[in-house]
Amino acid sequence: MLENAHFNMLEQQVRPSEVLDARVLMALKEVSRAQFVDDELQGLAYADTNLPIGFEQVILSPVVLGRFLQAINVQADENVLEIGTGTGYFTALLAQLATHVTSVEIMPELSALATENLAKANINNVTLLVGDASKGWTLADRIDVIICTAAFVTVPDDYLQSLTVGGRMLAVVGDADMMDVQIIHRVTEWEWQTESVFETVIPAMINAEPHVQFEF
């Protein structure tokens, strides 16, 4: 039954949403979303909806994640930094496409769960780290791709500086019900270009939420 639901997710949800990149579709086929959600949510594992994973966090819908992957276009020789590991589902998808994925999660319990889930899925080209990446994340070297699974009001400059020339970052930027998915390309040492690819709404980055506006 879950196998049928997985197939239907691809053919009735993802493809009709114009996610047509062959490598992205293969990653979504190879990785079982059901392995990354709680047992009581198995029946919803392949529904096109966000699912709760505890700590007021969610696993984003398959269509949104598929559109993320198609937009960022990770290549097989690239290294990826993911901000927001969650239970490891998107980490696993990225690992199908990239040479290596470094993923940072602020909740130690979720990072531990992701470690278990990725091991069960035999995915080993990942490094999982715990910490607050709301303002940036220190890397030993620049990186090809950065992708955040929570929204910023303003993208931290530290992330833009961490990209290789020719690298790119996917960030969801905005507030409340007005958010753009942006691909930010580093085109030279001192120049970045931003492309808005589609609109969506996802939870805000912890510790980077917009400040409350007071009216006087």
What's the domain count of the chain?
1
Domain assignment present for residue 117? The answer is yes
Domain assignment present for residue 27? The answer is yes
Residues with Cβ within 8 Å of 64's Cβ and at least 6 positions away in sequence, in order, are 200, 202
Domain assignment present for residue 211? The answer is no
Q: What is the pLDDT along the chain (216 residues), one digit of tens a residue?
A: 788 999 999 999 999 999 999 999 999 999 999 999 999 999 999 999 999 999 989 999 999 999 999 999 999 999 999 999 999 999 999 999 999 999 999 999 999 999 999 999 999 999 999 999 999 999 999 999 999 999 999 999 999 999 999 999 999 999 878 899 999 999 999 999 999 999 999 999 988 755 544 443
Domain assignment present for residue 103? The answer is yes
The CATH number of the domain holding residue 175 is: 3.40.50.150
Domain assignment present for residue 149? The answer is yes
Domain assignment present for residue 209? The answer is no
Domain assignment present for residue 214? The answer is no
Cβ proximity of 191 and 202 under 8 Å = no
Domain assignment present for residue 208? The answer is no
CA atoms of 130 and 109, how far apart (whole Å): 9
CA atoms of 74 and 95, how far apart (whole Å): 10
Q: pLDDT, tens digit, for every residue of 171-200?
A: 999 987 889 999 999 999 999 999 999 999
pLDDT score for 162: 98
Segments forming the whole domain that contains residue 137: 2-199
